[in-house]
Amino acid sequence: MMLFLKNVAFTVLVPGTVAVWIPWRLTSGDLTQRAVPLTSWIVALPVFVVGGSIYFWCLWDFASAGRGTPAPIDPPKALVVRGLYRYVRNPMYVGVLLVIAGWALLSRSGNAVVYGATIALMFHLVVLLVEEPMLRGKFGESYEAYCRAVHRWWPSFRP
């Protein structure tokens, strides 16, 4: 139960802020000053759903297989290489970026596009400078083998 509560708290505070609250604030003027065309909803809604689904699937894998959270203060105890992690090393970040892309598509806001690109760059730097060195130190050769088999950002569908 405690692991569940920690994951809920992290999700509300971090991805909730980065992928929902900030983009909503950035685009709320664009969304309230004019009617949002149905085509924008038709294009954006699947992107929101896919992005959110990716995030929650990865959260489940972190909790069930890794016995941890995405929070750096309580990371998974085991290397998670199942689910979407079989195809791309950072699917949770991809999911968050897709939600931000959904906001950009819905609002047709340049601010949301710039925000999304900035967050993507920040994610990349965190992965390169913090997460990967930490995971190499914690999991050693098993993480190195995983890196050789699975791409960082683009899915690979080979076994």
**pLDDT, tens digit (0-9, with 9 covering 90-100), for 8-41:** 889 999 999 999 999 999 988 766 667 788 899 9
Q: What is the pLDDT of residue 156?
A: 84
Tell whether the model's pLDDT for residue 159 goes beyond 80: no
Instruction: Parse the chain into domains and list their residue ranges.
Output: 38-149
**Range with the poorest average pLDDT among 25-34, 112-121, 144-153:** 25-34
Query: Over 90: is that where the pLDDT of 3 sits?
Result: no
Residue 46: per-residue pLDDT:
98
**Residues in CB range of 61: below 8 A, 6 or more apart:** 80, 82, 83, 84, 85
The alpha-carbon radius of gyration of the chain (Å, integer) is: 17
Which tokens go with 71?
A: 């929070």
pLDDT one-digit tens code per residue, 41-53: 999 999 999 999 9
Q: Is the pTM of this model over 0.95?
A: no
Give the pair of three-digit tokens for residue 81: 């290489």
